Amino acid sequence: MNFTVATRMNGFKESVFNELSMYKKLKIAEGKEIIDLSVGSPDLPPPAYITDELNKHIKDPTAYGYTLTGTNEFKEAVSSYYRTRYNVSLQATNEVLMLMGSQDGLVHLPMVFANPEDYILVPDPGYTAYATAIAMAGAKAFPLPLKAENEFIPDLSNVPTEIAQKAKLMILNFPGNPIPALASVEFFQEVIDFAKKYNIIVVHDFAYSELYYEKEKPISFLSIPGARDVGVEFNSLSKSFNLAGCRIGYLVGNPGIIQSLQVLKSNLDYGVFLPIQKAAIAALTNSSGFSDELRNTYKNRRDTLVNGLNELGWNVEAPKASMFVWAEIPKGYTSTSFTYELLDKAGVVVTPGSAFGETGEGYVRIALVQDEEILLKVVTKIKNSGLFEGES
């Protein structure tokens, strides 16, 4: 029997992560030692106070039914967290929506608001799920280039009027993936003015909000006056509390936007397992200092890797936030060819910048997902590869 996939599948490509994983397995089969810094999945466990809460509720025989929506307790915990962390007041009843991880909401929200032929303004380079979301909606992407000369902030003045008038959403991500840039208050104010002028919904992906390493803290979009009129903010417990596999996150902000997504969600799933919600509540309400410890761990990893790479001649900039290094590659390579050269000669896996959009060409993304000892080994392996001889 012959099967024909739907035409919408033309908008989906095999993930570069799958391709790299297959190639990595070939190298391992050849007996090569491979260190993988390509996937941004936390390698650290959640703190004990979270896992203790999860264990306690898993033993409750009444906890195994459908939850349908987030519990009031979870929504109140999110509200409290935002009030404490970002000085943002939220109405738990209608300005908080629980999600099966922030990506759940990110890939479904465009389906709620964008019709085929509508435009969605999207960062380039940007997280690969944004392209998936646009393809699922049948909409058109209009890239907002993130360039070093603009400190990786999009220039909204370059968006043609005819595109802005047809745009339904603008997706932003600060601190970002793959580029660990931070937005300013002034930029977010410009975004709000732009969104109001053209009636565009602003979607801010704030998944890396707790991973910052300098005095400058990431800014919640919702902390800017007028932001709630035009947009929403996605957040997650995956990176902030090492709960990536538990799949729990949330959307906060404009109640009309949240209600519209909730209608779609009510037709798609039956909620998050109650013990996971209980663990998330503990994470959001506990003041154990875990976030400070996590930041310190990633900062030490960042310094170990960045300092080591700079010493061997690969000049890379230390990120102020996020869990990635956005590294410009040597001349004479494409981002893909350099990625495979690094894998072949050094046994280190990174992600080509072009996987995140056309403007990502010339860079690779390196994830800080190994401990300092392993990162020192990475530096040694790259040094011994000969790729940077004469560069230091």
The Cα 207–Cα 187 span in angstroms is 19
Say yes or no to pLDDT of 122 above 60.
Answer: yes
pLDDT of 272-325, one tens digit each? 999 999 999 999 998 678 999 999 999 999 999 999 999 999 999 999 999 999
Question: How large a percentage of the chain has pLDDT more than 70?
Answer: 99
More confident residue, 22 or 392: 22
The Cα 169–Cα 117 span in angstroms is 13
Beta strand extents in the chain (DSSP E only): 35-36, 96-99, 119-124, 140-145, 167-172, 201-205, 231-236, 249-253, 324-328, 348-349, 351-352, 363-367
Mean per-residue pLDDT, 126-131: 95
**Cβ–Cβ < 8 Å for 294, 47:** no
The Cα 58–Cα 290 span in angstroms is 23
Q: What is the mean pLDDT of the chain?
A: 95
pLDDT value, residue 391: 61
| The two three-digit tokens of residue 319, written as one number | 């990120």
pLDDT value, residue 287: 67
Say yes or no to pLDDT of 377 above 70.
Answer: yes
Helix or strand holding residue 48 (H, E): helix 48-58
Mean per-residue pLDDT, 46-60: 95
The Cα 306–Cα 39 span in angstroms is 18
Domains of the chain and any CATH numbers:
7-45+290-385 (3.90.1150.10), 60-285 (3.40.640.10)
> Does residue 178 have a cis bond before it (omega within 30 degrees)?
yes
Mean per-residue pLDDT, 58-63: 94
Q: Which of 108, 112, 154, 151 is nearest to 130 (CA)?
A: 108
Q: What CA–CA distances, in Å, run from 83 to 89, 212, 281, 285?
A: 5, 19, 15, 11
Say yes or no to pLDDT of 2 above 90.
Answer: no
pLDDT of 242-276, one tens digit each? 999 999 999 999 999 999 999 999 999 999 999 99
Say yes or no to pLDDT of 174 above 60.
Answer: yes
pLDDT of 176-229, one tens digit each? 999 999 999 999 999 999 999 999 999 999 999 999 999 899 999 999 999 999
Mean per-residue pLDDT, 115-138: 95
Say yes or no to pLDDT of 14 above 80.
Answer: no
